[in-house]
Chains A and B, each alone.
Chain A
């Protein structure tokens, strides 16, 4: 798979580190959450067959984290955008 790093351009997947689902923010006030809400943050992630917004880090390159919308069935990459950015509207 070629992953288009926003800083380095398309590079081989072996240079990257996978970071799981994107847009799962660390809760602003963990102490205010119930056990169930905290457990949801800790342990629950989506696992779709199809487009999935996920985090990648160019670990063996520029070492920057960024987000990718990748089709988990075909590895097609629909979008690449900065960490903390809004997920682009689906194509």
Chain B
């Protein structure tokens, strides 16, 4: 018993076992999964996405719309085309109902990326591409030849045509061997180019297999010249039942017979409007498939055919057999539609509606296309890329012409890149004259619900009629209305067919309609491949401070602020976050706490105009700041909204240190550079990021003065000697330090800055003083919120001004201008109903409001639309207040202090009372200890 009943006699190879839909089969090395399934007589491979109709193998390569499979083993991969999956031993797969399923497990495979530059990139190793690569390589140019198939030759192994007297596949192998001998040539097999971007930047995926060190590699290639030799896809015709298993592109059937030694059926009917399908019929007949009839749309038929009956001027009007073709109904078309008909018994129906040059990449890069009436195809026209299109991709249909065209294109590309192409003669093949093709898009019928246009999306002519009936005239609109062309095959076989059907229905020329826009990727690409090695810890840089190891050792839990890891809190045994944070807050308010604030952005500004630059960018006056002093500053955008805040420290007459929020450090430096370079190039200032050069420890709480005095015996720490908002150079724990008296908690506090190298030593000395509790960002957030200090990005969005935040005092009235000042005088900035930062106290002191919750005026929600008065921006439990509280942006909020508002949470209206935004120590008495 033969194990592969549809395998052509004499075809051999290494036997591979595989499992499909729960059954075991055998195939040969070199098969695709589709070829092996056909060899075993599996007709229905998948079911369609919308209608659940059984579907079989329709094509033989990347244009396949039907045969979608899920690989189950060795690793689950969804939505692969059976026609492009190379068979391997142990493969387990199953057919899909249109949609796949992502694995829940992490993919163990590695993926990688490569950058390449070349003089000439040739896409496609078919007859034209190989010829182009050979003539370009002969010039000495750096050539990359990328081809998505495992073996070279493009369609040559499918058609078994002869080149230079050799079987096509042998000629292709010899050409490849010659290319491999050129030191400047790189051949990338199994590498599909899927994106073509401006200035000849192309992206390709190389499939390296499960045994390679990486499963796939993403190639990013910049080429001086590109040769697109991407071939052509055959297209179908819209007729009743054209989606049945057993209906197949004629070229695909030819490929299964010649390339894979597989018989896609026993008895075939051929439906064509051009001569290429006759060659397919001849090869199938030679392989033992009985060709029952050739149904040719053309009244004159095709070239002489010594096989079976040719039914010229006929159409296929029906297909029987729901799980696979069992018979085909054929009718003469006397003009005006089919009349009468007869049934021909067959299990295979080959279709050729014409050929679509593969112009996807050309179109992606902005190339314009033109419709050629004679070829019934879109051809490349104008482009601004440095590209040649060669062979079938520009509408050439015979082998000899494609070979010559490729050789000429390769030579032109090399010469345009500055090389001298040799005089290598182009390979030759015998061309057979063909009768002119006709273009038929659909077979007229009374009912179009079974005439499929897009097999993968289950779009029929009836669906297209519904679109045109709704008044749609553009193919782009029809595409979006019907979803035709939006499946993962990107309409390779259906795109122009859709245009043709729309043109037919509207009674206009296809040329008028054109086709939809081509976009990358040409074939699907996995996110894992795009990510390459940039995943897990390498997805984004992780920035840590010099104290990070200590935090980890003490069991700190971290939060991400931009790329920084910051300790959020330091739980003790048995503590959850609220408990730990309440403890840390109380420690700072009653004793002393220490926090790692090294992540704050630090920008060193030097130059005679540094003060002037700061005056222009900050809302406050910085030029009057004496050396030795520190000032809080807010920066606005020109529209008056808050951009960032921080402190400015004057180190010398011409030198300042500006701090930024942790997440905004790079943006603030960019901001300064942008203004300096584009608006004020006459200002003499250098801006330098010194964030990572310093480690900074915040020491806060009424006990902090004593701790500092103990660590810095040479520093006069009394309030008169070291007042608020000043800095001193000192030795702290015997380390050179700059100590700043600033506070983000309202308590007496210092920030001690040392060289990053000494950061850990300083921190350990501070901790070693005994009376200091380490605290994290969560505690810092609570402490600052109790004082009503806003956090840019949490309590602000792109609409909030300093005045909204109660920071009107930070706006200089004396300066003629600062960035944002003019906007602060706009009517919109002066409206009384602007949202102000206020405090909220829930009636229930244990109730924690959700951040982001909205505020309304009434205890019962009115009918929508509900007028929202604002939203909660920060919400915490306060140890100092002994209750929960929140900050919120509320319309006219400062006028509402004392008012009762409501926060809808689920079905509940939580009552709250509006307060001033400073809830703790409003007099500022604690700042001096």
Taking Cβ atoms with an 8 Å cutoff, the residues of A that contact B are 1-2, 12-13, 17, 19, 25-27, 29-31, 33, 35, 38-39, 41-42, 55, 57, 59, 63-65, 74-76, 83-84
A2-B198, A2-B201 are known; give 6 further A-B pairs, CB within 8 A. A1-B201, A29-B816, A59-B670, A65-B677, A75-B199, A84-B678
A38 pairs with B677, CB closer than 8 A: no
B384 pairs with A26, CB closer than 8 A: no
Q: How would residues 73 to 98 of chain B score, 1 for a CB under 8 Å from any chain A CB and 0 otherwise?
A: 00000000000000000000000000
List 7 A-B pairs, Cβ < 8 Å: A2-B222, A26-B679, A27-B822, A38-B826, A42-B639, A57-B674, A75-B198
* B476 lies within 8 A of chain A by Cβ: no
* B638 lies within 8 A of chain A by Cβ: yes
Of B201, B674, B817, which is within 8 A of A30 by CB?
Answer: B817
* Given A26-B638, A42-B639, A76-B384, A55 and B678 contact (CB-CB distance below 8 Å): yes
**What is the size category of the interface that chain B forms with chain A?**
20 to 34
* Given A38-B826, A59-B670, A74-B384, A31 and B817 contact (CB-CB distance below 8 Å): yes
Chain B nearest CB from A3 CB (Å) reads: 9
* Given A19-B674, A55-B678, A2 and B638 contact (CB-CB distance below 8 Å): no
Residues of B within 8 A of A63 (CB): 673
* B768 lies within 8 A of chain A by Cβ: no
* Given A26-B638, A55-B678, A84-B681, A1 and B197 contact (CB-CB distance below 8 Å): yes
* B812 lies within 8 A of chain A by Cβ: no
Q: Nearest residue in A to B819 (C-beta to C-beta)?
A: A26
* A36 and B640 alpha carbons, distance in the complex (Å): 15
* A6 and B201 alpha carbons, distance in the complex (Å): 21
Of A1, A19, A26, A38, which is within 8 A of B198 by CB?
Answer: A1
A31 pairs with B822, CB closer than 8 A: yes
B638 pairs with A83, CB closer than 8 A: no
Residues of B within 8 A of A57 (CB): 670, 673-674, 677
Chain B nearest CB from A65 CB (Å) reads: 4
B823 pairs with A42, CB closer than 8 A: yes
* A4 and B825 alpha carbons, distance in the complex (Å): 41
Q: Nearest residue in B to A1 (C-beta to C-beta)?
A: B198
Chain B nearest CB from A79 CB (Å) reads: 16
* Given A1-B198, A26-B679, A83-B677, A38 and B384 contact (CB-CB distance below 8 Å): no
* A2 and B822 alpha carbons, distance in the complex (Å): 38
* B827 lies within 8 A of chain A by Cβ: yes
Chain A nearest CB from B562 CB (Å) reads: 16
* A55 and B639 alpha carbons, distance in the complex (Å): 19
* A56 and B825 alpha carbons, distance in the complex (Å): 31
* Total CB contacts across the A-B interface at under 8 A: 62
Q: Nearest residue in A to B197 (C-beta to C-beta)?
A: A1
Q: Nearest residue in B to A3 (C-beta to C-beta)?
A: B199
A12 pairs with B822, CB closer than 8 A: no
* B821 lies within 8 A of chain A by Cβ: yes
Of A41, A74, A83, which is within 8 A of B366 by CB?
Answer: A74
* A2 and B366 alpha carbons, distance in the complex (Å): 15
Residues of B within 8 A of A13 (CB): 198
* Given A1-B197, A12-B201, A74-B384, A38 and B674 contact (CB-CB distance below 8 Å): no
B827 pairs with A65, CB closer than 8 A: no
* A43 and B816 alpha carbons, distance in the complex (Å): 22
* Given A1-B197, A1-B199, A42-B638, A65 and B817 contact (CB-CB distance below 8 Å): no
Interface hits, B670-692 → A, CB 8 Å: 670, 673-674, 677-679, 681
Q: Nearest residue in B to A12 (C-beta to C-beta)?
A: B201
Residues of B within 8 A of A35 (CB): 826-827
* A26 and B679 alpha carbons, distance in the complex (Å): 7
Q: Nearest residue in B to A73 (C-beta to C-beta)?
A: B366
Residues of A within 8 A of B825 (CB): 31
* A42 and B820 alpha carbons, distance in the complex (Å): 10
* A1 and B200 alpha carbons, distance in the complex (Å): 8
A38 pairs with B681, CB closer than 8 A: no
Chain A nearest CB from B682 CB (Å) reads: 10
Q: Nearest residue in B to A63 (C-beta to C-beta)?
A: B673
* A38 and B825 alpha carbons, distance in the complex (Å): 10
Chain B nearest CB from A60 CB (Å) reads: 11
* Given A2-B199, A12-B201, A59-B670, A83 and B823 contact (CB-CB distance below 8 Å): no
Chain B nearest CB from A2 CB (Å) reads: 4
Q: Nearest residue in B to A27 (C-beta to C-beta)?
A: B822
* A38 and B823 alpha carbons, distance in the complex (Å): 8
Q: Nearest residue in B to A28 (C-beta to C-beta)?
A: B817
* Given A19-B678, A26-B638, A33 and B822 contact (CB-CB distance below 8 Å): yes
B199 pairs with A30, CB closer than 8 A: no
Q: How would residues 806 to 845 of chain B score, 1 for a CB under 8 Å from any chain A CB and 0 otherwise?
A: 0000000000110001110111000000000000000000
* A83 and B680 alpha carbons, distance in the complex (Å): 11
Chain A nearest CB from B228 CB (Å) reads: 19
Interface hits, B358-372 → A, CB 8 Å: 366
* A84 and B823 alpha carbons, distance in the complex (Å): 25
Chain A nearest CB from B424 CB (Å) reads: 31
Chain B nearest CB from A46 CB (Å) reads: 17
Chain B nearest CB from A14 CB (Å) reads: 10
* A63 and B676 alpha carbons, distance in the complex (Å): 12
Residues of A within 8 A of B673 (CB): 57, 63, 65
* A65 and B201 alpha carbons, distance in the complex (Å): 24
Chain B nearest CB from A22 CB (Å) reads: 9
* A41 and B820 alpha carbons, distance in the complex (Å): 12
Most chain A beta carbons < 10 A, residue from B199, B678, B823: B678
Chain B nearest CB from A85 CB (Å) reads: 11
B822 pairs with A38, CB closer than 8 A: yes
* A86 and B367 alpha carbons, distance in the complex (Å): 32
Residues of A within 8 A of B681 (CB): 83-84
* A81 and B484 alpha carbons, distance in the complex (Å): 46
* A63 and B816 alpha carbons, distance in the complex (Å): 30
Chain B nearest CB from A74 CB (Å) reads: 6
Residues of B within 8 A of A25 (CB): 679
Q: Nearest residue in A to B640 (C-beta to C-beta)?
A: A42
Residues of A within 8 A of B678 (CB): 19, 55, 65, 83-84
* A31 and B817 alpha carbons, distance in the complex (Å): 8
Chain A nearest CB from B444 CB (Å) reads: 41
* A42 and B638 alpha carbons, distance in the complex (Å): 7
Residues of B within 8 A of A75 (CB): 198-199, 366
* A76 and B552 alpha carbons, distance in the complex (Å): 52
Residues of B within 8 A of A17 (CB): 670
Interface hits, B250-295 → A, CB 8 Å: none
* A33 and B817 alpha carbons, distance in the complex (Å): 12
* A15 and B873 alpha carbons, distance in the complex (Å): 35
Residues of A within 8 A of B823 (CB): 38, 42
Interface hits, B384-413 → A, CB 8 Å: 384
* A35 and B823 alpha carbons, distance in the complex (Å): 9
* A17 and B678 alpha carbons, distance in the complex (Å): 14
B638 pairs with A64, CB closer than 8 A: no
Chain A nearest CB from B24 CB (Å) reads: 48
Q: Nearest residue in B to A74 (C-beta to C-beta)?
A: B384
Chain A nearest CB from B799 CB (Å) reads: 14
Residues of B within 8 A of A19 (CB): 674, 678
B638 pairs with A65, CB closer than 8 A: no
Chain A nearest CB from B771 CB (Å) reads: 45
* A29 and B817 alpha carbons, distance in the complex (Å): 8
Chain A nearest CB from B4 CB (Å) reads: 50
Chain A nearest CB from B820 CB (Å) reads: 10
* A55 and B674 alpha carbons, distance in the complex (Å): 10
* A19 and B199 alpha carbons, distance in the complex (Å): 21
Most chain B beta carbons < 10 A, residue from A19, A31, A57, A65: A65
Of A2, A30, A42, A64, which is within 8 A of B677 by CB?
Answer: A64
Residues of B within 8 A of A59 (CB): 670
Residues of A within 8 A of B816 (CB): 29, 31
Residues of A within 8 A of B677 (CB): 57, 64-65, 83
Q: Nearest residue in A to B639 (C-beta to C-beta)?
A: A42
Q: How would residues 526 to 538 of chain B score, 1 for a CB under 8 Å from any chain A CB and 0 otherwise?
A: 0000000000000
Residues of A within 8 A of B639 (CB): 42
* A37 and B681 alpha carbons, distance in the complex (Å): 25
